Amino acid sequence: MASPRHVRGFAYGWLLFACGAVSCGFPMVSSAVTSAEMAAGSAALPAPPRPDTPEDWIGYPLPVLSAKALHGANLRTSEFAGEVVLLAFWASWCGRCDVQLAQVQELHTTYRGAGLAVVGVNLDDSLADAREFAAGAGVGFPVMHDITKRISRRFALLDLPTLVLVDRGGIVRQVYGRLDRKGRKALVEDIRQLLDE
């Protein structure tokens, strides 16, 4: 008769095989798994085939995103490799984005020295509208102008504002919508945890 240890080992191996066979489809994130451990396996982990929501990206590597910046030349997320990245999706026509952008700007000011890179993704059709809104909100972090909506479509963006938090290994760890007090506290705690990993 097989020992309990062998039975557990067989069951665990079978579970891994079954998950691989059906491509699991579940977010591969656990608070017990470090960014280094996830980054080590990220090379073989493809992007979600057809994400229906931004949350479907949790546990997967952030793709290299690039677009013209609101001010200056092209901007690429690969420029921030090795940092904790907070993507902030917004638009001037979003009635809730001004408050959230101010909160994100505060996080940028507080944690950029510790390794947080905040990158905005603006969905406005008008560059002038985007620049005016960013200036009014006091945005001091780089912003991509997603005029073609290629980036927002890739993330299956459903609502604004949306925040995507990425660890130092390039893995999407969390997605947030509009932040209330509880949500903002959770975001700050998650950022601090990733900065410490």
- Among candidate residues 140, 194, 153, the one with its CA nearest the CA of residue 63: 153
Percent of the chain clearing pLDDT 90 (strictly above) = 72
Q: Which residue is associated with the tokens 């949790």? A: 58
User: Across residues 183-189, what is the average pLDDT?
Assistant: 97
Higher pLDDT, residue 11 or 167:
167
**What average pLDDT is seen over the chain?**
82
Q: Is 117 exposed, middle or buried (0-12, 13-18, 19+ CB in 10 A)?
A: buried
Q: Quick check: 38 pLDDT over 70?
A: no
Q: pLDDT class for 45, splitting at 50, 70, 90?
A: low
Q: Quick check: 66 pLDDT over 90?
A: yes
Q: What CATH number does the domain containing 110 carry?
A: 3.40.30.10
For 96-157, give the DSSP string.
Answer: THHHHHHHHHHHHHHHGGGTEEEEEEE--S-HHHHHHHHHHTT--S-EEE-TT-HHHHHTT-
Angle between the 127-136 and 97-111 helix axes, to the nearest 10 degrees? 60
Domain with 145, as residue range(s), is: 4-196
Q: Quick check: 5 pLDDT over 60?
A: no
